[in-house]
Structure 1
Amino acid sequence: MDPVERAVNQWATEKPQLDTEPMAIIGRMLLLSKHLETQISKLHKQHDLKLGEFDVLASLLRSGKPHALTPSELLDALMLTSGAMTNRLDRLEGKGLITRVSNKHDRRSVTVQLTESGFELMTQLIEQHVNLQEELIAGIAQQERGQLNAMLTQWLAAF
């Protein structure tokens, strides 16, 4: 019996009129999210990265050559506040993984670009990241993954 089932059983005794199915679904989603984030964070930590820093680097890598985006484009990709983005960029620049390049025509405009070190790290790390994700969903049958993905996509679209 998982902790969610235990709570649902307790509510069935104390408040039998409650529909606890939404509680069970959301409770399990939250537990899964914590577990997944913990496992993925362990991998990133091996490379001295936090989850949010990895997200920035991954966005730059997947953007294609020259692996550069404006801070606004990064904000759109990652759904962050500008303050949070500035902090991430400062940390990544301090680690030598990104550089901020001023626009030659408009000095107020900056592009964030992977450094050679950042590119090499992410080229290696993205493979490890995807392999870990495969391990983490190994308990879901191959033929059910598409259906689960579609249901999660539909649910997310509701927000």
Structure 2
Amino acid sequence: MLQLRDLPTTETLEKFASRYPEADVTAISTFLHLLRVATDLSAALDECLSRHGLLQGRWWVLILLMRESTLTSTPSALADKVGIARASMTGLIDGLERDGLVERIFDANDRRSVAVCLTAAGQFKLDIVMPDYYNRLRLCMAGLDEKSRAQLSKMLALIDAGVAEFTKAKI
């Protein structure tokens, strides 16, 4: 994914706004800054996980399975929760199964019905990764007190609600 490292100055954005009257300079600036921070966070998460031999997709599958009381889910439910195609989920599960971190459990009455279960090795992997992840996350968020974190969460929810408008806006 390409990411803009050199964010435009206010002067540059004002120049664009003089040509495109729809441009809201502070909205653009804030949006680009948020996008860059999100990209930087994703890259930092990738780096953390790679130290443990994981990629985000595989890690999310392990996390989702750990959240289940039975440590088990279906591939389609996992795909829906992660927001990827079922075929992509199959690939993630294949790799996790090959590494012994999950296992497929086939229904004895219907071989088409399959569940995915977190193995002891998968839980062990999470038990190594999660303390490192939580420590890094704590350090990343250390500059925000509880009140600021709550405010940020509210602001992010407002932005998230506006994503639908961004997607469906007519030009």
2:30 counterpart letter in structure 1:
I
Bigger CA drift: 17-26 or 77-86? 17-26
From 91, 113, 117, the equivalent of 1:113 is 117
Aligned to 1:104: 108
Which structure 1 residue ranges, 5 or more long, are not aligned? none
- Using the size of structure 2 for normalisation, the TM-score is 0.82
Q: Determine the C-alpha separation between the residues in 2 that align with 1:21 and 1:157.
A: 18
Task: Kindly state the Cα deviation for residue 56 of structure 1 after the two structures are TM-superposed.
Answer: 0.5
Counterparts of 1:14 and 1:73, CA distance in 2: 44
Task: Report the residue type matching 1:92 in the other structure.
Answer: L
Equivalent runs, 1:21-100 vs 2, <5 Å: 21-64=26-69, 66-100=70-104
Higher relative contact order (CA 8 A, sep 6+): 1
Q: What's the counterpart of residue 9 of structure 1?
A: 11
Identity %: 26
Contact 1:40 1:132 in 2 (8 A): no
SS in structure 1 opposite 2:9?
A: helix
Q: What SS class does the counterpart of residue 52 from structure 2 fall into?
A: coil
The answer as to whether partners of 1:36 and 1:136 remain within 8 angstroms in 2 is no
In structure 2, C-alpha distance between the alignment counterparts of 1:9 and 1:127, rounded to whole Å: 44
TM-score, normalization by structure 1 = 0.88
1:15/1:78 CA distance change after superposition, 3 Å: closer
Where in structure 2 are there 5+ consecutive unaligned residues?
165-171
Structure 1 position 13, deviation (Å): 4.2
